[in-house]
A and B are shown apart, each in its own frame.
Chain A
């Protein structure tokens, strides 16, 4: 009987994975990673509340289980047994579908993110990635933009003014920052070394290309693009300081005002999943993936795989802490400031980074000069835009006559 064979191009050699190994290994990987993602969401909810408490000098949940670690599970059970209310005025099919339409894209984005180098089990070298497709980055951009549909449809189907306004704000914000997200990656793709037959769009290739030393990590070479990408990701996940879509003081809860029970929880899970996946993508693209000063090569073929997984896990966790940190550091933008920032600052910075990277690479072929040039160019662009905005600013109306102490002086 002839067996179907599957060829994967891994590190220059043809590695043969028989079809049944491919299917079994990917089912195992999917189960592990999907559950890690769900547990990660729970851990994020707990740590966010605890860290928030710590930063605001209060306790946060500490009653359920050790240090309140079981709080998310208690919340989940509570959500499950709450009344699943479907109000009269909603568009029922879309109202029910919207949470799922937000959650599914958030979950399947993780498929192309490598979570380690590779493991050798039973003589098969299994890459630690659910699917190493040659268009990884395009896949991520495509799937994450599907998330907008969940927000828009949820908001529209709710037939509530708060929801509709929240959904409109959120969708406009997400599509505006998506441009920056797409442009910031291009600089990375330009300098990624690929062998013939490989694709620079594969996240595994990008992570591998940063393996040699610290100065191969992309955030040093593309520092402005890295900052633009991170900022755009904060906006894509609707996190503070970009959480205009659910500004409590103005819009109650934004696009999920009318939702209750698990449907409400699914919106939250999707948001946290987006954060986790976004952090993992940033780590892979800019922060060296599973590389950390050669630590990933320690041990045999099994241990090095597990260590590389540990490295990417820790890096992602640190990045997720930054999410919480930023939340309690920066105040919320006003909507016009948000749009201005996205279109007038981030977009030109990301575009300039492409031009500068191209020109300096072709003329000098030096990564150091590209890195310095990027920072200088971004500084110049931001100064020019800020200058333009200050010059075009309509003068403030003349201050009314002085009163009180000022008048006495």
Chain B
């Protein structure tokens, strides 16, 4: 029921207020003595070279894509897991085989990603 979520909304309000008040208080209470060195990029005391937003390795992108693929498959397993106990009493073999086929396909994809070097990090 929707009213179950009311306490979560209240807790969310509390959390937002807590974070907001902390951020505002420290902004108001702290001293303001900016200098040029303070406001520049921190690079362990070395003069910063160029902008930080440069190109980075494609591997991070690959990991993100693999995550989306596998995470969606994990989400598909949830409804199955919830009804598993009930179904295992009446038609256990059916629900088992159904899952094995699904996980089998998932596993093939996993092996493919591994063989293609998608999981290798060097």
Contacts and interface: CB of A to CB of B under 8 A. Distances in A.
The 7 closest A-B pairs by CB, nearest first: A262-B26, A100-B19, A26-B7, A362-B92, A107-B15, A189-B81, A336-B121
Interface residues of A, number: 92
Contacts of B63: 172, 175-176, 339
Interface string A226-260: 00000000000000000000000000100001100
Given A172-B60, A179-B71, A183-B74, A339 B11 contact: no
Contacts of B60: 168, 171-172
8 contacts: A111-B8, A131-B6, A159-B52, A159-B53, A168-B56, A175-B71, A199-B82, A262-B22
B113 to A, nearest CB: 9
A250 to B, nearest CB: 11
B15 A266 contact: no
Contact of A162 (B14, B27, B43, B81): B43
Nearest to B57: A168
Nearest to A81: B29
A162 B19 contact: no
Interface of A: 6-7, 19, 22-23, 26-27, 29-31, 34, 38, 79-85, 87-89, 96, 99-100, 103-104, 107-108, 110-112, 130-134, 138-139, 156, 158-165, 168, 171-172, 175-176, 178-179, 182-183, 186-187, 189-194, 199-201, 252, 257-258, 261-263, 265-266, 335-336, 339-340, 343-344, 347-348, 351, 354-355, 358-359, 361-362, 365
Contact of A26 (B6, B26, B43, B71): B6
By DSSP majority rule, is chain B's interface helix, strand, loop, or mixed?
A: helix
Given A31-B14, A179-B67, A266-B22, 5 more contacts: A85-B38, A87-B40, A107-B11, A131-B11, A339-B119
Interface residues on B, range: 35 or more
